Chain A
Amino acid sequence: MRNVWIIAKRDLRAQFNSPVAYVVLGGTMLLLGVLMFVLPHMAVAGVSIGGFWEIDRATLDEMFTCLPPLMSIFVIPALTMRSLAAEKGSGTLELLITMPVKDSEVILGKYLSAFISVLILLGLTLLYPVAMFKWPWQLGPLDWGPVWAGYLGCIFFAGAGIGIGLMVSSLTESDVMAFFITLGALVILYAIGSMVSVVRDWHVLGDAIAFVSFQSRYQSFARGLIDTRAVVYFTSVALLCLLVSFRSLESRKWS
């Protein structure tokens, strides 16, 4: 396990030595601010965004509905694109793997570094509730329960998303490809949730979509509900993706 941490640490350092991490963190914070406070209240693809001031309630619903799409289109693809794809492309993987480390440690190290980056991002977003409802401003009595549930949802969401990103990264050799494929996969997994209302009548298909969709799984968290089915679902997706990444890394030996 020590190797996992060494690899994660190196990856994190590389991440924060390059502009990528700063662009991702800064960009997400900026977008989040714009989506919450500047845009008027509206619904895009079934997701209500904007209009914090219009609603006139002490709630962070807005933030938690915005975070997963932002993570899907931006944060997770950017953080995972380089994990394995770039290493394969540049050949550094060969040096890494010929050190006395297990393949699984490489995969877990990469996963952990992306996961820590997301935790840093989520930590930064804590500034919003703190600044708005604790200090320096007290905009109203905030119910912290849903906030923590929302964060928990984000963490599980990110856990599954990073798994997908890492898996894609392990299957490609170019980080640009990895970025766009991950983005596509996450957006599809998220957006099919909006189809649920449309296809509700189609029984099986509707159920299947609701089952797969990240959005429908995540929604309960955003409402302050910790749904164990969703927890199990996100964890399973993450584990499955880690397993595929591991196999894909191992497959170099046999190809």
Chain B
Amino acid sequence: MSNDVMIHASHLSKSFGSFRALDKIDFDVKRGEIVGFLGPNGAGKSTTMRILTCFISPTSGTVTVNGHDVFDESLQVRESLGYLPQRAPLYLEMSVLEYLRFAADLRHLDADMFRKRARSVVEVCGLAQVLGKEIRHLSHGYRQRVGLAQALIHDPPILILDEPTSDLDPNEKAEFLDYLKQIGQQRTVMLSTHNLAEVEASCARAIIISRGRIVADGPLDEIRAKSGRVRYVVSIQESAAGGKYRGRGAPPTKGEVEDALGKVPGVGKLTELPTDERAHAYELVSEQDVDVRPEVFQLMVDKGWVLLELHRDAQTLEDVFRSLTIGDERRNRTLTATTDEGEDEEEEESEEDEEDEEESDDADDSPAEDVKAAKGDVKAAKEERS
């Protein structure tokens, strides 16, 4: 293993009773990388992080952190880690300064070193105003900052952050992500989240995990390309609406446009998008690796139609994420799903699940349909029973 691999997990499995939280996952994180660890709730993100931080042990497989085995050299592993657990569980009765001193003591920082490091983390985490306050009186955002400060107090080479931005407001989030880039230059950072925008903003690489398995791992662009489908939006003038029509002959009718676009090579699916009477707008879905734009352009030239808009919609990470982890959603929504013990973990986080639901309802693609289908199943099941 090269010196640059800071976290190395191979064939990592963890079972809780009969439930497999992690199923033989493998990944490496190199020095200086900021890796986003993504997945729906209950996919195994926290479990993985708890294994990396020696809080729990894997059922099988090996993990080394900074060259040390989590099982045999757990103290050395923990020395080189800064860890912020989900929801920053801190001692509420302590003041911020007391807490930082406690963390520094356990990390065996001497007084001089503590002063130096404390000044630096207080500055970067923005804690100067609340140093003397008891943690119980702080907002969640500030508690999160204190959690981050204690993780950084010993200047660790590796940072593991479990949903670090979940309690922050949008300003704080933006600030935090900026800061993350800054500290990520010398450190290895692994952060879990289900907010994809954050990963796009701060990480170059993502690992997507679903039901205990890694479904995608690599640079964001690669992951984006992975799902294959590319969408194009084409809109063609339908009427000049009082102005002068610039095209050849009369503006095309809907039938003509549909017919012509359907025949463009490489176009898989054609969907009409809602517009006013001035334009026909369509969404084209192409097969992988085929760029239909030149063909569409040529079509316009041949027919003499007026092209108002033509653009390629790069697949967003969100789409990829949904398509990769859709199985989880479906399982959560159908009653027929087998009830294994591990679902307790998901129930704990059902609040957030509901937020996710709203998101997917808004989307006009397959997840919404799945929801409907799942609801249909439920209905059918009820009828059957009665």
Residues of A within 8 A of B (CB): 2-3, 6-7, 10, 13-14, 17-18, 90-92, 94-95, 97-102, 252-255
Does more than half of chain A's interface fall in helix, strand or loop, or is it mixed? helix
Besides A13-B94, A98-B53, A101-B78, 5 new A-B residue pairs in contact (Cβ under 8 A), listed by A number: A13-B98, A95-B83, A98-B78, A99-B107, A100-B78
| Residues of chain B with a CB closer than 8 A to A97's CB | 54-55
Asked whether, in the complex, the Cβ of A91 is within 8 Å of the Cβ of B78, the reply is no
Interface size on B, residues (CB 8 A): 31
Instruction: Tell me the B104-160 residues at the A interface (CB within 8 Å).
Output: 105-108, 147, 150
In-complex Cβ contact of B102 among A6, A18, A100, A255 (8 A)? A6
Q: What is the chain A residue whose CB lies nearest that of B57? A: A253
Residues in A whose Cβ lies below 8 Å from that of B78: 98-101
8 residue pairs from A and B, CB less than 8 Å apart: A94-B50, A95-B85, A98-B54, A98-B81, A98-B85, A99-B103, A101-B78, A254-B57
Q: Which of B57, B89, B103, B147 has the most CB of A within 10 A?
A: B89
Residues of B within 8 A of A6 (CB): 102, 105-106
The reply to whether A92 and B54 contact each other, CB–CB distance below 8 Å, is no
- Considering the chains assembled together, what is the distance between the CA atoms of A30 and B308 in angstroms? 88
> What chain B residues lie within 8 Å of A254 (beta carbons)?
56-57
Nearest B residue to A91 by beta-carbon distance?
Answer: B89
B83 contact set on A, CB distance < 8 A: 95, 98
Q: How far is the CA of A10 from the CA of B93 in the complex (A)?
A: 10
A3 to B75, CA, bound (A): 13
B81: A residues at CB distance < 8 A: 98
A92–B86 CA distance with the chains assembled, in angstroms: 11
Pick the contact of B150 from A17, A95, A102 — CB < 8 Å?
A: A95
What residues of A have a CB within 8 angstroms of the CB of B108 in the complex? 2
- Contacting residue for B55 out of A10, A14, A18, A252, CB 8 A: A252
Interface bits B39-76 vs A (CB < 8 Å: 1, else 0): 00000000000100111110000000000000000011
Residues of chain B within 8 A of A7, CB atoms compared: 106
What residue of chain B has the Cβ atom nearest to residue A17's Cβ?
Answer: B93
Query: Across the interface, do B106 and A92 meet the contact criterion of CB distance under 8 Å?
Result: no
B55 near A100 with CB under 8 A, answer: no
Identify the interface centre among B79, B93, B106, B147: most chain A CB within 10 Å of its CB.
Answer: B106
Complex contacts, B87 vs chain A, CB 8 Å: 91
Q: Which residues of A contact B179 (CB under 8 A)?
A: none
Chain A residues near B56 (CB, 8 Å)?
252-254
Instruction: Name the CB-closest residue of A to B92.
Output: A90
On whether A255 and B54 interact (CB within 8 A), knowing A90-B89, A92-B91, the answer reads no
Q: Shortest beta-carbon distance, B58 to chain A, in Å?
A: 9
Q: Which of chain A's residues has its CB closest to B83's CB?
A: A98
* A14 CB → nearest B CB, Å: 5
Interface residue? B90 (CB, 8 A): yes
- Complex formed: what's the CA distance from A7 to B106 in Å? 8
Nearest residue, chain A, Cβ from B147: A95
Find chain B residues with CB under 8 A from A252 CB: 55-56
Report yes or no: B79 in contact with A100, Cβ–Cβ below 8 A: yes
The residues of A that contact B90 with a CB separation of less than 8 Å are: 92, 95
Partner of A3, one of B85, B98, B106: B106
